[in-house]
Structure 1
Amino acid sequence: MSEKSEKHDERLSVLKTYKLFVGGTFPRSESGRVYEVTDSQGRWLANAPLASRKDARDAVVAARKAFGGWSGATAYNRGQILYRIAEMLEGRRDQFGHEVARAEGLSRTEATAAVEAAIDRWVWYAGWTDKIAQVAGGGNPVAGPFFNVSSPEPTGVVAVLAPQESSFLGLVSVIAPVIATGNTAVVVASETSPLPALSLGEVLATSDLPGGVVNILSGRTAEIAVPLAAHQDVNAIDLTGAGEALAKELEIAAADNLKRVLRPQPVDWAADPGTGRLLAFLETKTVWHPMGL
């Protein structure tokens, strides 16, 4: 064996350090804790940050701070930003294909198909930003000399429990509709397969998305979700990634400040998503205006 080959064999791999994504930056967990992430065969992949309750509260503060600017942006501008994210995901398709294959135990072909579907899904939601108002709003006939118009408005800060089994396509399918409609999100990544979500944070950080619009936490779903469900500054919660018992506990906690709750249900992530998730976290504002003025 040549000297060059021996040096190559002795080289140590540079392992990736995954961090949380909060407020557009990459902090370590407040507690400094990490947990081991393994593939479908139980082989070690990486150490992921184990987010604490403090991390969850910090993410809510960041999401609330970003809400005014994001909800006040034009629908066209939001659509352009989402489309830019899809462009960046396309450029990192191979990386995400590799991570999804390891996370979900898929073949490289299957993982690539899942990533491509996720990118297409992101583009699809980007196209809805300036169209959802026509679906969810409109003029209302009233008995009187008034114009009566209903228009959709974002709910606010939405806590999203990402699906456990679909680490990227499912993840995109729950994040994109939330922010497309002007909400900001605190996302709890899949507990067993958080790495694609944490890598998504790297894409969002270098896109045109304002810091705090999407915040991504990894760790024990129940540990992070409980304080989010009870948080008075969280307006809604998507329970997709919660099991039956946890979902019931979180729904009770969410009732304290009348959060909107999207309950977990069986979903085929590869199927046409429809407009259900776009409409889930919208409020309807109705305006009356006298005719002739």
Structure 2
Amino acid sequence: MSERLSVLKTYKLYVGGKFPRSESGRVYEVTTRTSAADAAGKGAWLANAPLASRKDARDAVVAARKAFGGWSGATAYNRGQVLYRVAEMLEGRRAQFAREVAAAEGLPKSRAAEQVDAAIDRWVWYAGWTDKIAQVLGGANPVAGPYFNLSSPEPTGVVAVLAPQESSLLGLVSVVAPVIATGNTAVVVASERSPLPALSLAEVLATSDVPGGVVNLLSGRTAEIAPALAAHQDVNAIDLAGADPALAKELEVAAADNLKRVLRPHPVDDWTATPGLDRMTPFLETKTVWHPTGALGVSGSSY
């Protein structure tokens, strides 16, 4: 029996629930990361990843905006079910992701498997928060007068997310899951050096119940794509987790043009640590409603 040729995987972007190539047609080499490879300056070839352009970024924003109404309007319970479904699908491909994370981050297989398990658990953790965050952050406010005064958190809109550079899957999930758990939609720039686990995660999202456009994944040069997102007038917020200090400062200036919410980068020693609410609250806005008590409404109904 003759030897067969290997079928190499073609990685693509994930925009609007579809898998397009970059409109520029560009790709870049992704290599393994090991101590020996780092010493030599280059590891073994893994794949060619799409090199997204600013046009791809704009397309992703359009897709995210289109998906925002349906996703933000879904019940919190439903969003929790969807996030849990992502965890289920990722669990079914655990071995594949462990291999990809090991190659991407130069980790032993056992350590990579721990990272994947933590990423799965992170989806479950945020799934549980979708219908609880409003109870924690909202409430009834005491006022002087015959009124109910109620405050509730609402999603801010389209959030650009620069994924952490050194944690290709767990760090990525840790910054994306809280954004969509709270009803926002996301345009995500994957780790520049290690984008393959992120691009494979797109396949999990596409085969789960996440509506197309809720999460859009781009790979390429962070310094090329991020300024277009920071300056985009239809992006409401940006998470700078994957930006170096010089780039972060540049992006903050660009984001100020339309008063974007900015989550500044801060070092994370251990992505496996149980997260708090720090990545959910920056992308929520508080809506306060006044309602008369004991008065007749316009229709004549008693409240």
TM-score, normalised by the number of residues in structure 1? 0.97
Structure 2 unaligned blocks of 5 or more: 38-42, 296-303
* Structure-to-structure mapping, 1:89-238, within 5 angstroms: 89-238=90-239
Show structure 1 runs of 5+ residues with no match: none
Q: Does 1:18 align with 2:1?
A: no
Give percent identity, aligned residues only.
83
Question: Is 2:51 aligned against 1:39?
Answer: no
**d(CA) in 2 for partners of 1:144 and 1:259?**
35
**Deviation by residue 1:74-126 (Cα, 9 ceiling, x = unmatched):** 00110001101100000000000000000000000000000000000100000
Give the Cα separation in 2 of the matches to 1:258 and 1:134.
Answer: 27
SS at match of 2:186: strand
CA distance, structure 2, for counterparts of residue 46 and residue 190 of structure 1: 15
- SS of structure 1 residue aligned to 2:129: coil
One-letter amino acid of the structure 2 residue matched with residue 96 of structure 1: F
Aligned length: 286
Mapped to 2, the partners of 1:149 and 1:242 lie a distance apart of 37
Which portions of structure 1, spanning 4 or more consecutive aligned residues, are displaced by more than 4 angstroms?
A: none
**Residue 145 of structure 1, CA deviation:** 1.7
**Aligned counterparts of 1:73 and 1:271: Cα–Cα separation in 2:** 29
2:63 aligned partner: 62
2:293 corresponds to which letter in structure 1?
M
CA distance in 2, matches of 1:188, 1:132: 26
Letter in 2 for 1:171: L
Whichever residue aligns with residue 214 of structure 2, its letter is: V
Q: In structure 1, what is the Cα distance between the partners aligned to 2:209 and 2:169?
A: 21
Instruction: Write the distance in 2 (CA, Å) between the matches of 1:251 and 1:165.
Output: 22
Alpha-carbon offset, residue 12 of structure 1 = 1.8
SS at match of 2:279: helix
Q: How does 1:278-289 map to 2 (within 5 A)?
A: 278-289=280-291
* Secondary structure of the structure 1 residue equivalent to 2:287: strand
TM-score when normalising by structure 2? 0.93
Q: 1:291 aligns with which of 290, 293, 300?
A: 293
Give, in whole Å, the separation in 1 of the partners of 2:265 and 2:240: 5
Distance 2:12 2:208 in 1: 18
Write the letter of the residue equivalent to 1:150: S
Opposite residue 62 of structure 1, the aligned amino acid is A
